[in-house]
Chain A
Amino acid sequence: MTEPGRPEPEFVSEAGELVRPYVITRGRDLPDESEFALITLVTTATDEQQRPQRLSPEEEQILEMCSSGYLSVAEIAAHSQLPLGVVKALLSSLAEGGYLVTRAPVPSARPTNKALLKEVLDGLKALSV
């Protein structure tokens, strides 16, 4: 017996393309761009203490995907085949719940980080031999 008002997960999953993004994100607004950049690296937190939240199938999928190492936000979106905006909203909800560890990208090329550029340059030169 399916609980009233709670769609069967299989249905949600199959109807992915027909579900408006705010349904998947449970009405959460799409987060600020600054919270998760395309190249913010994400993995699951090892600390399993408080996980009171009931997770959606999409959130479960993302957690499982992130459990084996670091992936960028863009990679998570590509592998899960969900739109970027939706993935960012799900990630921000998971991060709030303490499920994720994130590593922010170098904030900006400006003011220019010369040491960083040197390191990128050296890395590329090593590939060009």
Chain B
Amino acid sequence: MASRLSLSEDAYVPSGAQQTAVKILVVGHFAVGKTTLISSLSEITPLSTEERMTTLSERVDDLKGVQGKTTTTVALDFGRLTLSERIVLYLFGSPGQQRFVSLWDDTARGALGALVLVDPERLADSFDVMDLVESYGLDFAVAINHFDGSTVHTPEEVREALDLLPDTPVVTIDARDEKSSVDALITLVRYLHERADLEHT
């Protein structure tokens, strides 16, 4: 037998309701605080699942038609938030490197939108992430994760550095704080909701 695995009751999606799942991506470069934000919001202990993927490895000589491919295991962290009797929201933390693009195919499909977490000290590290979000056509808001002691760039400076559209929301948050993280999601979803208005007119 495979090892028996019994889960506690609260591991399950709350029952008695006709719930539909929706998802929002939390994206950003390595160590920007994606998992921290998901942890501060999730009603379950954040989970991690792995996807094995074949990636083109960089700087491998293509000798006699042998492709420079390697198989990488990428961890996908996620959490869950029950919003109503009808809706359960999943938050997926997606790594921002271009080589994980096949993981994005799966996580981005059907997402409501993305919250892009940026570190004000490492703005350039967010360029890859921005490219991915834009190439998948995801609507997004930017959340500046302001760690203690870091130099604060104003939202306007970040907007300029990341070349954002004037209506793209930019907020400053502390990903460790639940309320701050919820407010960032509210900013994103309010923006998505407003855009839905525009698309209908």
Q: Which residues of A approach B to under 8 Å, CB–CB?
A: 9-10, 13, 21, 33, 37-41, 57-58, 60-61, 64-65, 68-72, 74-75, 77-80, 83-85, 103, 105-109, 111-114, 116-128
Against A, the Cβ 8 Å flags (1 = close, 0 = not) of B86-130 are 111110100000000000011101111100000000000000000
Contact of A114 among B12, B84, B196 (CB under 8 A): B196
Instruction: Give A32 to B100 CA distance when docked, in angstroms.
Output: 19
Number of interface residues, chain B, beta carbon within 8 A: 60
Residues of B within 8 A of A69 (CB): 9, 12-13, 15
- Let me know if A103 and B84 touch, CB within 8 A: no
The B interface, classified by DSSP as helix, strand, loop or mixed, is mixed
- Let me know if A79 and B189 touch, CB within 8 A: no
Known: A61-B3, A68-B12. A38 touches B92 (CB 8 A): yes
Instruction: Give A64 to B7 CA distance when docked, in angstroms.
Output: 10
- Let me know if A39 and B197 touch, CB within 8 A: no
- Let me know if A80 and B196 touch, CB within 8 A: no
Instruction: Give A74 to B166 CA distance when docked, in angstroms.
Output: 35
The A interface, classified by DSSP as helix, strand, loop or mixed, is helix
Q: Report the stretch among B27-35, B44-52, B144-152, B167-175 that lies at the interface.
A: B44-52
Q: Which residues of B approach A to under 8 Å, CB–CB?
A: 1-7, 9, 11-13, 15, 19-23, 44, 47-52, 73, 76, 78, 80-81, 83-84, 86-90, 92, 105-107, 109-113, 139, 179, 182-183, 185-186, 189-190, 192-193, 195-197, 199-200
